[in-house]
Amino acid sequence: MWSWIDTLVQGLMLGGLYALFAMGQSLMFGVMRLTNTAHGDFLILAAFAAFSLLSAFGLHGVGATAAIQLALLPLAFVFGYGLQRLVLNGTLGKDPLPSLVVSFGLSIVIQNMLTEVFTSDPRAIDTGELNMQSLSLGDHLSVGILPLSIFIIAILVVAAMQWLFGRTALGRAFRATSDDKEAAQLMGLDARRVYGLATGLAFVLVAIAGTLQGMRTTFSPTDGPALLLLAFESVIIGGLGSFWGTFAGALILGATQSIGFRLDPGWGIWFGHIVFLLMLALRPQGLFPKTR
């Protein structure tokens, strides 16, 4: 019994990372109805950016990684804001095809650029002994310090996003523009600026998630599409437009994959896809559709 409980706990910890993958995607779709197919590649780009800065300054360990991550956040915001204003804004409209085509093109460019610069060899961010440390929860159960830390960060990020959307003027601007762009503009909101701020914030979330992915496991230039799929499945399972729903969907996906890996090493990812397909068939709006 304890082995199954341990499997479930490890799956929930993995789901916390998936939730961070999905937050930026959920935000961009919720505000702009834009599906960014390069989302996973931007996650990997963030991981490589953190890895490169650490290598360039000869730094390693948790403290240095945290400092580099904090330094990346404002850069990620500026990059996301500029990308939306200069590239993505021109693809928005009733037809979703232009945004899909442009973001797919960005995905190809990022993958090839990273492969050219870093080759296809996997990398990892050095966290010292953190990956080996664990917290005992009793005689039969323990959890890694790093996965637990990522899980706690995921909860804080989701709570912060829910607070932002529900309690702040910026969140009201996001919601108003999402619900009715024309009416929001008549009330004095600049939709392009709101979209730029939303994308900048989404890329801050991408920088956090990408760095934590690099700390937890290895990554390579072609890992982006797999991370995009995990983010997309988390959002769909939880329900479009709901941050806590996305968090719940990510936990379900992580727990399901962990159980699948326990039954057979080749079944983990497949089990997650089965849950995703069942959700599409039985409840396509997700478990917790838009409530904010």
Please, what are the domains in the chain?
Answer: 7-129+143-282 (1.10.3470)
pLDDT in tens, 98-124: 889 999 999 999 999 999 999 999 999
Predicted pLDDT of residue 265: 81
Q: Cβ(143)–Cβ(137) under 8 Å? A: yes
- More reliable by pLDDT, 289 or 164: 164
SS (H, E, C) 157-211: HHHHHHHHHHHCHHHHHHHHHHHCHHHHHHCCCCHHHHHHHHHHHHHHHHHHHHH
User: CA neighbours within 13 Å on the CB side: how many for 82?
Assistant: 6
Predicted pLDDT of residue 220: 96
Look up the pTM and report it. 0.93
Predicted pLDDT of residue 290: 66
**Residue 155 above 80 pLDDT?**
yes
Q: Can you tell me the mean pLDDT for 132-150? A: 86
Place of tokens 């490890």: 10
Best CA proximity match to 192, nearest among 106, 113, 81, 273? 81
**Residue 291 above 70 pLDDT?**
no
The CA-CA-CA angle for residues 242, 247, 251, to 5°, reads: 145
Q: How far apart are CA 234 and CA 184, in angstroms?
A: 29
pLDDT in tens, 30-73: 888 888 999 999 999 999 999 999 999 888 888 899 999 999 99
Range in 144-148, 223-227, 287-291 the model is least confident about: 287-291
**Residue 232 above 80 pLDDT?**
yes
Predicted pLDDT of residue 292: 44
Best CA proximity match to 212, nearest among 30, 24, 31, 62? 62
**Residue 260 above 80 pLDDT?**
yes
Best CA proximity match to 76, nearest among 193, 210, 234? 210
Q: Can you tell me the mean pLDDT for 216-237? A: 94
Residue 212, C-beta contacts closer than 8 angstroms, at least 6 positions apart: 17, 20, 150, 153
Residue 15, C-beta contacts closer than 8 angstroms, at least 6 positions apart: 151, 234, 250, 251, 252, 253, 254, 255
The chain-wide mean pLDDT, for the chain, equals 91
Q: Can you tell me the mean pLDDT for 148-167? A: 95
Q: How far apart are CA 84 and CA 99, in angstroms?
A: 11
The amino acid that residue 287 corresponds to is L
**Residue 95 above 90 pLDDT?**
no
The CA-CA-CA angle for residues 273, 240, 249, to 5°, reads: 45
Predicted pLDDT of residue 173: 93
Predicted pLDDT of residue 129: 81
Best CA proximity match to 245, nearest among 14, 25, 13? 25
Range in 55-69, 124-138, 245-259 the model is least confident about: 124-138
Residue 66, C-beta contacts closer than 8 angstroms, at least 6 positions apart: none
DSSP-derived letter for residue 123 is B
